[in-house]
Amino acid sequence: MKKIVFALTMLVVLLTFGCGKADYKSERQVATYGTSSRLMRSASADMSYNEAAVMHDEMRAKENDDSKAANLTNDERKLIKSAYIRIRVDNLDTADVSIAEMLSKFNAYAASTNAEENSRHYSLRVPAPQYEIFLTEMNGMGRVLQRSENTEDVTLRYYDLEGRLEMKRTLLRTFQSYLTRARTIEEILAVESRIAELQYDIEGTDTQLRHLANRVDYATIDLYLVGPVSAQTQNETLGEQIKKLFGGFGSFLSTIVIILIGIVIFGIPLVILLTLLFWLFFGKIGLLRKLWGVVKGKKLE
């Protein structure tokens, strides 16, 4: 009897201990899951809050940039300058040398060149501070046939891109700091995805800003050089010039002669053929006339 009571007591103790341990594990798992969820929600809330804060700062920075741009002087503004110039020169080779010397003097360069028999075309990139001086010296190369200039104010666009780029870089650093706080695969993937998007946006904005800055820093001058009007006739003899002068009239006479020869070759035989046919059918022989008389006589009979 004592053995049975002892066995039942031990059974009750074991069951009680097992249930308590299971409940402890379950409570621990729930607490751990809740803590992880709270961490994820906290990280997401922090990311959203920081991103919203950065975007808010970006909007305020844009407003400040607009206000700043409105108060800038002309020297502080971001201006894109360009010009189109057409000049007649006495010697193209000498002009080529002068252009090369000016490019070296003003630290400029030729983006493209095109040389023809009696003309040259250059697309020149000149540092903006040297733009006016470069144009002034260029006027002394020859007679200016045409000149036009254009100035585009890109101050607002420039500072807007600059502000956006700085804000996106700040936001990128913020998200990069979240990688050290992420605890789950989902958190890491979400943060890395946002980082990749920001890096792509930063590269695109940086490219736009550098392209705009290059156009601001270097003015563009489209230069056309035209040789002298008499350049093509300087080495011609007097006889060649007279021949060229009456070349058009000579061409007209040649056309008349060709027409007359055509009439002689084709017109005279055609006239002879038509005369022969008329004489054969309607003249002394009169084949058609005789045939008509025969037909008419038969009708009378």
Average pLDDT of the residues in 111-126:
93
The proportion of the chain whose per-residue pLDDT surpasses 90, expressed as a percent, equals: 40
Q: Is the residue at 291 inside a domain?
A: no
Using 50, 70 and 90 to split pLDDT, how confident is the model at 29? Answer: very low
Residue 223 has φ and ψ, to the nearest 5°, of -110, 125
| Between residues 5 and 121, the one the model is more confident about | 121
Q: How far is CA 47 from CA 43, 168, 171, 175, 200, in A?
A: 6, 14, 10, 7, 19
User: Within a domain: residue 264?
Assistant: no
Question: Is position 101 within any domain?
Answer: yes
Q: Does 50 have pLDDT greater than 80?
A: no
pLDDT at 51: 52
User: For position 140, what pLDDT does the model report?
Assistant: 85
Structure tokens at 48: 């959203």
Per-residue pLDDT, averaged over 233-255, amounts to: 62
Any domain includes 45: no
Separation of alpha carbons 184 and 161, rounded Å: 35
Q: Is the pLDDT of residue 4 over 90?
A: no
In contact, 158 and 80? CB cutoff 8 Å: no
Determine the pLDDT at residue 233: 46
Which pLDDT band holds residue 275 (cuts at 50, 70, 90)?
Answer: confident
Give domain status of residue 255, yes or no. Answer: no
Q: Which residue did the predictor score with more confidence, 180 or 103?
A: 103
Write down the mean pLDDT value for the chain: 75
pLDDT, residue 176, reads 87
- Compute the Cα dihedral for 273, 278, 283, 285 and give only its sign: positive
Residue 107 confidence (pLDDT) above 90: yes
Question: In this structure, are strands 79-88 and 143-153 parallel, antiparallel, or unpaired?
Answer: antiparallel
Range of the domain at 111: 58-229
Residue 25 confidence (pLDDT): 41
Q: Please give the average per-residue pLDDT across 225-253, as a whole number.
A: 64
Question: Does a structural domain hold residue 199?
Answer: yes
Tens digit of each residue's pLDDT (9 = 90 or more) over 9-24: 555 445 454 444 444 3
Q: Is residue 96 part of a domain?
A: yes
Quote the CA–CA distance of 31 and 37 in Å, as a whole number. 10
Domain count, the chain: 1
What is the model's pLDDT at position 74?
A: 65
pLDDT digits (tens, 9 = 90+) for 176-228: 888 888 888 888 888 889 999 999 999 999 999 999 999 999 999 999 999 98
Flag whether 43 is in a domain. Answer: no
